[in-house]
Amino acid sequence: MNAKDIFWLGYKDLSEKKIRTALTIVMVMIGIAAIIALVSQTTGISSSISSSLSSLGPTTIILVSSKPTGFSPADAARLAALPNVSSVIPIVMGSGSVYANGQNISASLIGISAEGASELPGVSSLYSGTMYQDTPTPSSVIGYGIAFPTSLGGSKQNVQVGQAVTIKLQGGSGSSYTMPVTGIMTQSSTSLFNINTAVLVSLQEAQLLLHRQGYSVILLKASNTSTVTPLAGLLTNIYGTSATVTTTQQILQTVSSIVGAIGLFLGVVAGISLLVAAIGIMNIMLISVYERTHEIGIMKSLGFRKRHILFIFMMQAMIIGFLGGILGIIVGASASYGLSALQHLSASNATNASSASTSHARFQSGGGSAFGGGGSSGGSSFSSLSYWPVFTPELIIEALAVAVIVSVIAGVYPAWRASNMQPIDALREL
């Protein structure tokens, strides 16, 4: 008996019990869909966070002031003089609403030098236009989400380079300022800066607009990766509780461990679904064995050997696993993309509808916060996490293999039971 005959005999019984077969396949599908959705989601989150942190670089140290006045220019000068510090990037942050061509978008105002801005994701290569000059002049570079607002579908350009936008600041004077747009940033998914809905201006211009001399955040670049940890320890000793010191590697390790733990937990949940599916397959196939007792006796009387009967029932389990795996991959991928699309939509709506008057966002990592906006900035520096699921060929192949293997293992006992049935006992079942 060749493989084609075994496949046809296994498929024939499944096709005759369509509802039973369909329900069994659905059980496998649910387990595989859960695995695909959960793994792709956690991989997407990890990839987004890693990409965001990589854009800042492994030598970056984030210094956030806990004092209302923030960091002073003297602080920046002292930090630049420390050993193993290659660059110091002061940042001033505020928040408000941007008005342009009838659109009102909550936004962050970020004051940073043109050279420092190139360290931020989405800024090193502008979508269009040029960077502003490091002078106290009313010119700005806006985020992709302001130029292409989600209220217009995210694809219709609302602001062109050379046009002017009006930003109404929250807190402080609450004044409105109109400034021309010199450039538009590329779209960026990041959990650190909400670059997509940010207005970047020169450091001096931000200080004038916000009536502030201090800096909210200072980014330091260590000379190399080996000096990051000692330098972070030195900064902690210098500032104590008056500032929070965090490295990008600390954030990455903390978030990765959290995402990994969540992924493991969700994977266990998905594994339970597959276990339930395996029990269902075993149950259904045992019923099939009992129903086909007479047929098995006839096949053995006609010369079918034990291995032929074994392979027929194992083929049934393999078909169920394969079909369940294929459907599970399709359903899981669709569900994963659907969840991410809803997340993007809700995040965009929340950004557009939220009040920009909230206090500084705090990002807890390791021993403290990072990028909360220090001092009196009043700005929210963090965006909600934006990501898309990640599907790799390995994930697809492994998910399909798991579906088939689990199904085959579940079908071993029923197949063995059928293959060891004595012909005379089977023929008695008339």
Identify the burial level of 162 via C-beta atoms within 10 angstroms of its C-beta, where 0-12 means exposed, 13-18 middle and 19 or more buried: exposed
Start-to-end CA span in the chain (Å): 27
Number of C-alpha atoms within 13 angstroms, CB side, residue 195?
Answer: 27
Rounded Cα distance, 183 and 140, in Å: 7
Q: By the 8 A CB rule, do 114 and 131 touch?
A: yes
pLDDT the model gives residue 194: 75
Of 39, 40, 30, 43, the closest CA to residue 328 belongs to 30
Pairing assessment for the beta strands 140-142 and 103-111 based on DSSP bridges: unpaired
Question: Which is it for the CA torsion 50, 53, 55, 57, positive or negative?
Answer: negative
Rounded Cα distance, 392 and 47, in Å: 12
Rounded Cα distance, 18 and 100, in Å: 59
Q: Going by C-beta distance under 8 Å and a sequence separation of 6 or more, which residues neighbour residue 114? A: 131, 132, 133, 134, 202
pTM assigned to the model? 0.62
Phi-psi region of 170 (alpha: psi -120 to 50; beta: other; left: phi over 0): beta
Beta-bridge mates of residue 90: 218
Q: By the 8 A CB rule, do 157 and 148 touch?
A: yes
pLDDT along the chain (430 residues), means of 10: 69 77 87 87 78 72 86 90 90 88 87 85 80 88 88 81 88 76 81 77 90 88 87 90 84 76 78 82 80 72 76 85 92 87 62 39 34 40 61 89 89 81 62
Beta-bridge mates of residue 384: none
